[in-house]
Structures are given as structure tokens and as C-alpha cells.
Structure 1
Amino acid sequence: MARATDLATRLDGLVHLVAGEFVAEVCSVYVMRPGEILELAATEGLRPEAVHRTRLRVGEGIVGTAAAEARPLNLPDAQNHPAFAYRPETGEEAYASMLAVPVLRGAEVLGVIAVQNRAPRRYAEDEVEALETVAMLLAEILHGAHPPAEEAVLSLPGAMARHYEGVGLTPGIALGRVVRHGRRAAPRTVLAEDPEAELARLRAAARAMQRAVDALLEGPARRAGHEPREVLEAYRLIAADQGWLGRIEAVVRDGLTAEAAVERVLVELRARMRQVADPYLRERLADIEDLAGRLIDHLGGGAEADPVEGGFILIARRVGPAELFDYHARGLAGLVLEEGSPTAHATIIARALGLPLLAGCRGATEAAVPGELAVLDAEEGRLVLRPEAE
């Protein structure tokens, strides 16, 4: 109860502050609830009685669409947008323009923050970027307000065995302890005190990252065979690409720390990649996430991987090719992905390394508890979490 009260107080203060800073007549925060429901949790400008009453499904309305597409929606005439969903209890019919920004932590959507004005207007680019920065800070507030996933999973229903069906992309069977490929911690500092010093840190980290990729290419990738080497060659080209690195530098110049800039650009790239029709190009998102994580690690001086017992099963939404080589060196026995295909780079690497790979197990990442037993059967297309519960 105290946790919920504290969150409500913080959100009330946030929407009041943002409305004032943006000269917006409305600022609202919608929080993700179980079942992919976005609930109005705080507002400055809409009717107070709508708080905790107004709810939208992901994909419903402007707010739900921003969450579903994981990208900002900047609309001068929101009520005439095809996705607009009218909620009379809010009193929002008086407001024409709307900027809705998803609150993201890694690839997870935690909510949406939106500002509205009576006059039709398209919000300026610097206003969109400012609200995205607020959303990054809000993500940590919302994440800290919820108990860890392990607590929920270890409740009575969660302690039962869980079965998932998927598609075996590489053959094999494995029994081992779960390692969950999770999100890195969010940047502790978002705003830079010295942008030039942050640029120097970023450039040094990028050089270190590229040297590490070169070493991986000449070592494990070369030993794994021709196809993995080709995958890492393509990965190295992305690592050296000045397009995304230049965009990160631009965000640092706007006042963010190097780590926060990497996270901001990764959010932008995720949103763009989701709009790409070509499945091969969409699958490169895992490579970009892998590189962004490595760049953040090098910014921190080269983070040491947590120790794990060999023979483990990795469960992830997606995993990049270099990450997969790293896990293999630590004793990986099998791989479970929520997203994957026969042409994905992770599949090519897993096949070369002789690792069983099961893909399409939606929800397994959140349900899995690190250290618990799991059985991966890529021959039959099945994953069982907590098999000893049976």
C-alpha cells in the first residue's frame, strides 16, 4: 500500500511539473497493467475522476498505438486520427494536439506519457526529445515501483511447472539451470555535466568495442566455420557504421550522458526496425541491441559477466551473434528465444556451435526464474520450466 501511495504522489508531481515546463494544458501518465492494459495513473488537466478509471488496450487509441508501436505519436489534430478512441470521462474533447511517448525500459513498454494542447500544433523536435528524456526517467520510477519478476513467479501459481511450445530451429535436448538474458541496468545519470567529456568517453568506448569485435572475429568466429565468420563480418560493419554512432554523438551534444544517449538511440532504432517490412532486415535488431549493450559495457570500463555454472539454458527475447559466442564460452547448453527464424544470425551461430535452439516461446522470458531447472526439447518443440514441480 505504501509503495502504491508513494508512486501516486511521484506521478502527480511529475505531470504537474511537465505540464508547466512544456506549457501544455494536459500532461498524463498511463501505466501498463496485466493483460496489456494501459491505465490512466496521473493527470494534470484531464478530469481527476478519470484517474484509475480510464483504460485502453495496447493498440487502442493514440496512447495504445504509441505503446504498440513503441514510438512517439506527434499529432496536431489527434481527434481526427484513425486510432483516436474517445473516453468521455476524461474531458479531452477540448484538446486538439497531442504528443504521446512510450515509456520503455529495454524492449519492455511500461506505460505512456502524453501532453495535450487546445490549439492544433505539431510539437517541435526538441519538445519530442525532451519528453523522451522524461520518459527515460519515468521508466526507472515505474520499474522501481513494481516487485521483481522473480517474486511474482514464485507465488503459488508461478511455482507450478510451465510448458511452452515452439519451433526447433537446431536439433537437440538439454537439461540445465536457467540464465535469463535480461536488460542491462538503466543509466544512473541521464543529463551530462560536460558534453565534451561525454563525447570523448563515447569515442573511446566505440574504439574499444570495435577492437573487441575484431578479436572475436579472428578468434571464436573463425574457429566456428565459414557461416559464423560471415555473420560476424556483417556485425563488424554495423559496429563501425557512422550512422548510428553519429546519431549517438548528436544526442550527447544535446545534453545527455553517453549511456543515456545510447539508450535513446536504441529506442529510436527499435521503433524504426518494427516498421520495416523485410523480415531479414527486422532480424538485425538483435545485432543492434547486442552492439548497444557492448558499447554501454565499454563505457563502464568493461563489465564482468556474472558467474554461472556450466550447462545452463539461456532464455531470451532475442540474442545477438557476439552475445551468443560469449554465452557459449561460459558453458551454454541450449537456447530458447521468443523471437527467431531459420535465417536469424543466432540460428546460424547456434547451428555451427551444435547448440539446441527452440524459438517462438512467447512469455518464457518473463516466466523464467534464474537458477531454476528447465528442459529444452528442440526435437519435439517443447520447453518445460520447473519440471521437478511435476
Structure 2
Amino acid sequence: MSALASPAMTGAPLGDSAAEPIAKRAAEPLIRFDHVRKTFGGVVAVADLSLDIEEGEFFALLGPSGCGKTTLMRMLAGFETPTSGDIRLAGKSLAGVPAHKRPTNMMFQSYALFPHLSVWDNIAFGLRREGLNAAAIRARVDDMLSLVQLTAQARRKPHQLSGGQRQRVALARSLAKEPRVLLLDEPLAALDKKLRGETQFELTAIQRRLGITFVIVTHDQDEAMVLADRIAVMREGGIEQVGTPAEIYEAPVSRAVASFIGEINLIEGTVAHADARETALDAPALGTRVVASPAGAARAGEAGCLAIRPEKVAMRRVNGHSDGPNTLTGTVSDAAFMGEDTLYRVRLETGHLIKTRRSNTRDGGTIRLGDRVVLNWDPADAVFLER
């Protein structure tokens, strides 16, 4: 049977997998981390972590170096053993199951291709070790070559390929054994920025075509946002937030998440009042009161901060009286041309800096360093954070 059509590979026919919502594919998650803890000596790498990953998801473990994301993946793969807690796959505990008997496969950052073998033989290597017959190996390898668009390069050696092609060989080799879960450890880190961007779309297309659950470890926020259906943002061995890319970006639950994902303005202050319409914050750094969307947990008198993305902050030259909620006046102190837009830093009279992005369109007008400008934003675009 062709690998691309194999029910064992997808858990369902490809046509059904592409149309069926992830939440309806199974009564329970495919992967469950249940109060998992991992220590190395006195160092806690993963701290009492619980997480569910659904069948067919492209799931990202995102965070800075040392946050525990790679350790979490290695425990799922069977290369590390939890100090406590349990990891279940399709409802069955993986405790005591060695790595080679788990329905997972890992694609490493280094690719680990055999330099003396051709592309075809690199992909076939694991299948031969499993004892598949020659006809089955031939059919599977040819399917994989077609999938990653390397049929014409089948007889080349790794050193005769580009970085992107080597990455696709490693992916094909990982998929050839038809894993239930594919684990990707910083798989695009060795590629240049442009090639990395192109390869991200190739990866998502392959994952959607096959319906396999992909779990990727990355410290690259943009990569996680492009690739993943959902993201777990990790910090100090725990999970700060789990959500879709839009949820993580637009509604961060903490300063740590807000500051790690993209550019952000964090404005510290004290809650003046909070109701069903808005949360008002007295912000000494701005010298005024600012307003955010309502936050159910906010209470008058408590400390917190307002988070607002630069692209949500409008900017114009001072041309008369300016008032209204969230209206500030300042002077442009820095500008960074980013191609499609420019990131500005505006210094307020208090000395505080606010970042704003402005599209580089012909009708946008020119704003220069030293210009006096007015900033404002819609309260609905700002988020109140307690922690």
C-alpha cells in the first residue's frame, strides 16, 4: 500500500482528515502529559507540567533556551524518563516503552544524514532495518521522494544538495516509517531566513496532506506563529500559555508571554477602576490615565500593566488640540525601516518610550526624527495583565 494513502499513517483516510475538525477526531487527546516533572540532579528542567495535544495538530513548544521544551520532547520520544508523572499516547502510558518501540520519530536539527549514502538510500535506511521487503521499500521511498519533491535528486549524495534539500531528505526519512507523531527539534535553524520562510510553508502543506501529528520545538516566535495550529509558550520548566497563534499574540496572559512574542508596549500602573466596559489604569510613566479592554479579574488599587502592540498605536503629526482616551504627545526619537513598515520610538514628556509601527505607503506621509506627534489607540486593542 502506498505510504501516502496508508490509514496507519493518518489514523483516517486523507480526505476525511483534511475536512474533519481536530476537536472531533478523538474523544481524548492523542498525547497527554500528566503532571510530568523532570530533574537533573538538583536542577528542575520540567516542573509538574500538564498538557494535551490533539490528533492531527501541528503543535509548537516555544520558549527561550533552558525553558524545558527540548527535555519535554525527549521524554515523549523516549530518550529521557520523567522523574514523576505520566505521558500517555492514544490513552496508553509510555512508561517503560523504549524509544524504538514508540510510534514516534524525531527529526533532528543536524539532520544526521549519512554522507556516503544517496538520497534514496538515506530514506530507505530505517525501512531496511525494519526488515521490509524490497518492493515495499521501493514504493515507500518513491512516495516520500514525490512528497518532498526530490525525485530528480534521488541518486545524489547529501553534499550535492542545498540546505533546503537536505532538510527535506531528513523529513522524508522521518516520515518513511509512518510514525503516529513526528517530533521536530529546531528543524529549520540551519537555513537562511528566506529559505526558512519558504520551507515553513512546505512543512505545513505536507503535515496537512498526511494528517500526522507534528510537534515542533523552536525558540523562533515567527516560526511557531507560521507553522502551528496551537502553541505552548514555556518558561522555567512550566507552561505560561497555550493557544492558537492569534490568541497568543492578541491576548497574552502574562508579561512573559507578551514580551516574548513580537514587539509590545508594556505600561505599568495601578487600576483606577474596572467594570464590564473597560479597565482604567493610572500610569505614572505616561503621566496620565489609560484605558484597556475589560478584565474580569482586575480590581481597583491593584498593580498591573497595559499591553499594546505597536501596530495598534496610531501616530500623526501634532496639528492642534488632542484629547480622548489613550491620547499621548511626544517626539520621534528613533525609526527603524522594516521594509513594508517602519518601527518608531516616540519619547513622551515623562521620558517614557512608546513603540508604534506605520505602513510605508505612498499616501502615509513622511514622519522624521524630531517631529512632534500624537499617539492614540482603541481601548479594545489593549490588554490588562496582572502578572
| TM, length-normalised to structure 2 | 0.27
Which has more radius of gyration?
A: 2
Tell me which protein shows more strand as a share of its residues: 2
Structure number with higher helix proportion: 1
